[in-house]
Amino acid sequence: MNQPVLAVEDLRVRLRTPRGPADVVNGLSYTVGAGETVAVVGESGSGKSVSVLALLGLLPARVATVTGTARLQGEDLLAMSPDRLREVRGPGAGMVFQDPMTSLNPVLTIGRQLVEGIRAHGDVSKPAARARAADLLREVGLPDPDRALDRYPHELSGGMRQRVVIAIALSNSPSLLIADEATTALDVTVQAQIIDLVEKLQDEHGTGVIWITHDLGVVAGIADRVLVMYGGRCVEDGTVDDVLERPAHPYTRGLLGSLPDLAAPVGPDGEVPELTAVPGLPPPPTDLPPGCVFWPRCPVRSDPRCEDEQPPLAIVSRAAAGAGATASGTTVSGATPSGAHEGDRAHLPHRAATWCAEGTSGTGSPAVAGTSGTGSPSGGAR
């Protein structure tokens, strides 16, 4: 419990593209503890998928340059030999991909695809691996697992295929499970089943989970911790409650504002309040702004430094509480250190990379600046 399953530090990914080098991930740092679920959220193109593909060396080496460290149970994934990395894929970290329709090989049976994964990591006889494969399919709730082994992917529905992909990812009892938009392509009821399934398996095996999604509803349901990505950077992270209830970064607020709020009061004529969208598009990774990545779209822009300086990722809530800042009423009230997870609290500071946490003038900045040294490493700093 003390040592995190995964500790990522200053992960950077640069891709060579026809339009020049693209900085897709820029100094990402986070940890995933055993049995913990970390949700990585952000809109399309924010570098979520690339950041996890980079961990397992699944980006094409010809175009991707990955730097930083990523310790999986103490061993740096990014400095590993290809052979060792192959051994780690599977027992170390299993991965579930976005589209179950394409992530299985259409010309091989389900059984074969499971068995080859099992046999790649241990001297298991074919019948034994087959029995294990059937057990796995049973575990992920596939009806009639013994017969399913001899079926081909096209004979199964999307939800069933995703169960198979999960079974493959779990087949070597990984200490870390990475789910890259694993439920995005599925309909809502199936999505809920898959989420339940992963939670159940996580409880049973103590697996650490990275759950990549852009669905904040899913985040609220499963995550212990949230990491908000924008422009390849972590702009805010913290516990689910902190980030979703008391978002500090203007981008997170924008993201939350684009959710339909069913509890919002209906207008006098029965009209539903309009959704607030974050105007504009994320910056192209080939041409990132010199300052805060969100500055071009930021509705606040309260601090002049944002334009050409990247605000460091600094503790927000404890900072506000400690400094006793005057204009931080909402933030302070939620940051009571006595919670259900008081032990965890120390490890889970609420951080945001912004100088305008309060959204009003520049009052937030002195408070943050005063405490940024006490917090965990500020990965977003430049």
Judged by the rule CB under 8 A, the positions of this chain that interact with another protein are 53, 56, 58, 62, 86-91, 94-95, 97, 99, 102-109, 113, 116-117, 120-121, 152, 154, 165, 168-169, 171-172
Taking alpha carbons only, the member of 219, 133, 215 closest to residue 171 is 133
Taking alpha carbons only, the member of 212, 225, 177, 207 closest to residue 50 is 212
Q: Tell the smallest beta-carbon distance from residue 103 to another protein (Å).
A: 5
Q: What angle do CA 195, 182, 234 make, to 5 degrees?
A: 100
Q: Tell the smallest beta-carbon distance from residue 209 to another protein (Å).
A: 15
What's the rounded Cα separation, in Å, for the pair 56 and 60?
A: 11
CB of 42 or CB of 117, closer to another protein: 117
CB of 104 or CB of 325, closer to another protein: 104
Q: Tell the smallest beta-carbon distance from residue 313 to another protein (Å).
A: 29
CB of 116 or CB of 199, closer to another protein: 116
Q: Tell the smallest beta-carbon distance from residue 92 to another protein (Å).
A: 8
CB of 64 or CB of 168, closer to another protein: 168
Amino acid at 260: P
Could you give the residue ranges of the DSSP H alpha helices within 216-291?
216-222, 240-245, 250-257
The answer to whether 292 and 298 have CB atoms below 8 angstroms apart is yes
Q: Tell the smallest beta-carbon distance from residue 198 to another protein (Å).
A: 16
CB of 58 or CB of 332, closer to another protein: 58
Question: In the chain, what is the straight-line distance between the N-terminal and C-terminal CA atoms, in Å?
Answer: 31
CB of 210 or CB of 288, closer to another protein: 210
Q: Tell the smallest beta-carbon distance from residue 225 to another protein (Å).
A: 23
CB of 170 or CB of 226, closer to another protein: 170
Q: Tell the smallest beta-carbon distance from residue 96 to another protein (Å).
A: 9
Taking alpha carbons only, the member of 291, 295, 268, 267 closest to residue 282 is 295
What six digits make up the tokens of 67?
A: 């730097």
What six digits make up the tokens of 138?
A: 């049973």
Q: What is the DSSP letter of 89?
A: B
Taking alpha carbons only, the member of 7, 14, 25 closest to residue 234 is 25
Q: Tell the smallest beta-carbon distance from residue 40 to another protein (Å).
A: 17
Pairing of strands 6-17, 351-352: unpaired
Q: Tell the smallest beta-carbon distance from residue 72 to another protein (Å).
A: 13
CB of 53 or CB of 209, closer to another protein: 53
- List of residues 6+ apart from 125 with CB closer than 8 A: none
Query: Exposed, middle or buried: residue 234 (CB in 10 Å: 0-12, 13-18, 19+)?
Result: buried
81 SS3 class: coil
- List of residues 6+ apart from 264 with CB closer than 8 A: 272, 273
CB of 26 or CB of 103, closer to another protein: 103
CB of 103 or CB of 378, closer to another protein: 103
Q: Tell the smallest beta-carbon distance from residue 33 to another protein (Å).
A: 22
The answer to whether 367 and 319 have CB atoms below 8 angstroms apart is yes
